Structure 1
C-alpha cells in the first residue's frame, strides 16, 4: 500500500522557525519529522512513498532525495500553493496509483512506535468482514490544545454524531493517520483547495468510515514550545 506524507502546510503557528525551514523538516532528537515517518514506513515494508509540498518544498526534496538511503522510493507532488488536505491528496493520486487504498500520514505529527503494519492489517480485516470502507482512521485521546476532539468512535465505526443524545460521549481526536479509498476524492477538481473533514463527514453519514483508538505516543508538533519540550523529554532508546 503506498503512503502519502502531507508536508505542504505553511506552519504559521511554528513561526519564526518555519520562516526558513518547512515544518516537516524540523527535528526531534536529530531527525526530521519526515525522516521519523520514512523510517517507520520502511520498517513496516511500506516503501513506496509520495510527499506533497508547497512552502519551501525544494528543501524537502534536497533533504530526502529519492529515499534510497532509507530503502524507500520517494516521489514528490509539488503544489504551487497548498491545496488543503483533500486537494493535496487529489493531486497526488496520480503518483500514488493506489489499488484502490492508500495510507496518509500528516507530516507534522510525531508518533514514534505507531504500529503501521498492525494498523493496515486491522484495516484489511474490516474489508475481509465485508465492510465497505471509504476511510479507516486512527483516533487518539484529546490533547490539551484540542480538548473537544473531532469524532466519535462507536465500536469500530467513526461518526461525527453521538450514538445516543441521552448518553454523554467524549469525542476523540483524529490523529492525521488514515487509510482512504481513492473514490473518496473522485469528484474533486484537480488543483482545487479542498478540506478533508467535509468528505469524511459525508462518508460517515453512509456508515463508510471505520477506525480504531490508538493509545501510544502521539504529538501534534504545532508550536515551537511543543517542539522544544519533545526534544527535551523524548528518549529514542
Structure 2
C-alpha cells in the first residue's frame, strides 16, 4: 500500500517493507543442504524421483536374475514317467499280444502273454457289442454276463491247474484279446447273415482261432507247456457261446 504526500509524490513504503521481509525469510532456507540430504531429484516431466531405487532400466530385464526355481520345475517334469506308463498301459505288449492272436503260430514273450492290460479287451468287447447292435441284436447284457461267468470259471480252473497261480486281470486280458476273431465275425454279420453254410464255416473257424490263441497265451504265461489241450477245452466252450450269439 502507499499514500500521497503533501508534495504530490506516491510513497510505497509498505511494498518495500514486504519485499524486504520476504527476502529475509527466503534467505533463511538452505537449498544446498536440502539437495544434499534428500535422495530425490527433480525432473521436469515426472517431478521428484527417488534416485536410490530407480536405475533407469524399468523395461529392461535384469541379466543377473536367477532362474533356479523354473529350472528345477522343468527337470522335475522331465523326470516324470509317461502317462501310459502311469496308467499301466504298455503299447508294446498290446501290439505283441494282438499279433499273437492274429497269428497263433507266432512266438510270444512270457511277459507279454501274462500282461494284465484291460484297455484292449474293453475296446474289443465294445466293438463286438456295437457290431451286433448294427446287425439288429442288442446283446450287451449277454456279453457282459457270459463274459463275467466265463472269466471266473476259467480263473478257478487255471488256479487249480497252474503251480504258480494266475491273477484275475490276466485271465480277463487274455480272453478279451482272443475275442478278436469273434469281433471280426460280428462285423461280417452286419454285411450278410451267418445262418447259411458259409456262415457256419466262418463261425467254426473263428471259434478255433480264438481257442488256439487263448490256450497258447495261457500256457505261455503260466508255463503249462503240456496242458494246452486241457486249457483249450473250456476256452472253446466260452467262445462257442459268443459265436452262437453272433450267428442267431
TM-score over 0.5 (shorter chain):
no
TM-score, normalised to structure 1, is: 0.21
- Structure 1 or 2: more helix by fraction: 2
Larger Rg: 2
- Structure 1 or 2: more strand by fraction: 1
More RCO (CA 8 Å, sep 6+): 1
